[in-house]
Structure formats: C-alpha cells, structure tokens
Structure 1
Amino acid sequence: MIARVEIPFSRSGKVESRPDERVVTVQPGNSLWRISRAIYGEGARYAVIFDRNQDQIRNPDLIYPGQIFVLPKDN
C-alpha cells in the first residue's frame, strides 16, 4: 500500500509586498483561477499569481486556506 500525506504550510510572520502589490488570504473554496478572476477579471491570469508566489505554491491546483499570496497590481 502506498500513501501520501501533505501537510499544509505554516504561516511565516510578515508578508513582504511592495507598494505596487496587494495581498490576499486564501479562503476555503478559493483557487488560483477564482482569485485571478476576482482580482484581474480573467481566470487565465492565475499564472501571474503563481509566478509571484512560487515559493509557497508547489502545485497550482493545490492551495490551502490561510495561505497569504502577494498579487501584483493589474497593469
């Protein structure tokens, strides 16, 4: 039998962002697509969020409630 266990992240204290960025805390039911659609108006721009937060996201299909992502402002 093979089993896999993933343990959600632990919050680090302070989230660093620049003035041209904002932060969002993942809520239950969120996905990168949904966050992107709400912030940028297009779900397909989820890659912008993924690229900026690669240190926290191993798999863009697996994000966890409580994670804090930095979102570059729309250009």
Structure 2
Amino acid sequence: MGLFAFIKEAGEKLFGTGEANAAAADPAAANARAAQAIHNYIVALKLAPADLGVSFDAAKSLVVVSGTAPDQATREKILLAAGNVAGVAEVENRLSVARAEPEAQFHTVARGDTLSAIAKKYYGNANQYPAIFEANKPMLSHPDKIYPGQVLRIPPQA
C-alpha cells in the first residue's frame, strides 16, 4: 500500500487535448475515460493481472490501482506505467502481490541523467545500466529514451 508521487506534466500522453473541456462538462465521465485509457495502456504493456482495477480523479490528479500482481516487479511496473502518464501526480497502490520479494527503489529522471549515471549512483558501477533498463521494460524501448520527470524502477542489486 502507499502513495507514489510523479511529475504531473511528464509522461505518456494518453488523454486528448479536448479532455479538459470534457472534464468541466462531465467530470465523472472524463475520469472514467481517463481510467480506461490508463487501464488499456497497462494491458498493452502486458502487465495487467486479470483483476486489475484502475480509477482516476482528475481534480486530485490521482490514479488508484488495485488487483493482485504475480510478483513485486510486475506490481512496481504497473505503478510506474500508471504514474508516468501526463496529468497524473500521484498513484495510490492498492495492489497485492502473490509472491513477496524485496522492493525496488524509484528514481525520478533529472535533466542530463543517463541510465549509466543512474547505475553509478545506485550501484557504484555505470556498467550496470542494463539492469535498470531491463527492470523498466516494456515502458522503456531503448536505454537512451528516458526523459526528465520520468520515474524509473531501480531493482535491488543481485
């Protein structure tokens, strides 16, 4: 359980430009559409457990995710997928884990960061960047495609 903070202006653009006007007219419907878009994104990444629940509150910029993840890594990837969406400032974690494992750390990418620099910071060795890249697949498609404000999963060292 817990609340995870994200940078609201950074992330995947899942909501259209007309969403703000629609939200003013019918906030409940706009929240439902946004929740469905986030749910569909998690499904497209092949991370969604069968019982995945997603809700969104635009007034609070809050996503709530629930369900049972098969393992800790999938749970964390679901949280990151939901949070690394433009318009989302916080993700409330109501996911349980079928198989308990050590938790990873999270790192918010700053301007000028590279996976190598992040690996050096957390592991003491820049050549460990592939571990961070692998831990963030399928959200990352290439080690060089990170952006300021993005939150990454930093797995415990093996």
Give the TM-score band, short-chain normalised. Answer: 0.7 to 0.9
Superposition deviation, residue 20 in structure 1? 2.5
Superposition deviation, residue 55 in structure 1? 2.0
Larger Rg: 2
Distance 1:55 1:15 in 2: 21
2:11 paired residue number: 9
Distance 1:65 1:48 in 2: 20
Distance 2:127 2:92 in 1: 25
- Of 26, 33, 42, which residue of structure 1 is paired with 2:116? 33
| Number of residues of Structure 1 aligned to a counterpart in Structure 2 | 67
Structure 1 moving runs of 4+ over 6 Å? none
TM-score, normalisation: structure 1: 0.74
Distance 1:15 1:49 in 2: 23
Contact 1:53 1:70 in 2 (8 A): yes
Distance 2:153 2:92 in 1: 8
Q: Structure 1: 5+ residue runs without aligned partners?
A: 1-7
- Of 103, 107, 123, which residue of structure 2 is paired with 1:24? 107
Contact 1:15 1:68 in 2 (8 A): no
Which structure has more relative contact order (CA 8 Å, sep 6+)? It is: 1
- Of 42, 46, 54, which residue of structure 1 is paired with 2:129? 46
- Of 55, 64, 71, which residue of structure 1 is paired with 2:147? 64
Contact 1:48 1:72 in 2 (8 A): yes
TM-score, normalisation: structure 2: 0.38
Q: Structure 2: 5+ residue runs without aligned partners?
A: 1-9, 13-83, 94-100
CA RMSD of aligned residues (A): 2.2
Return the structure number with greater helix share.
2
Contact 2:106 2:153 in 1 (8 A): yes
